[in-house]
Amino acid sequence: TAKFANTMTIYPNPVGQSTTLRFVSQAPSKVEVFNLNGQKVDEIETDGKLSIEWERKQLSKGTYILRYTQDGNVYSKKVLLK
């Protein structure tokens, strides 16, 4: 079961064309993006950076879930694309 991701902030959220993901202590290697049907629609490589820019590309308006694993725990956070 996923935990709420208090180790990552998303700004701005709701997202226009891009947003910044910031990690508190260490960055996961990747962040997966899922639609509300549970389909993986994107994958964000972090390259170990604590702050990365994410471009939404062709993703439609709506709510998505960003999910990542850190220290054996799975975290997720909602993001709204406008």
Mean pLDDT by 10 residues, the chain (82 residues): 69 96 86 97 92 94 94 89 96
Distance CA 67, CA 43 (A): 10
How many helices, marked H, and strands, marked E, lie in the chain? 0, 8
Return the closest-CA partner of residue 35 out of 61, 57, 63.
63
Distance CA 12, CA 79 (A): 9
pTM, to two decimals: 0.87
- DSSP strand pairing (73-81 vs 62-70): antiparallel
Distance CA 71, CA 68 (A): 10
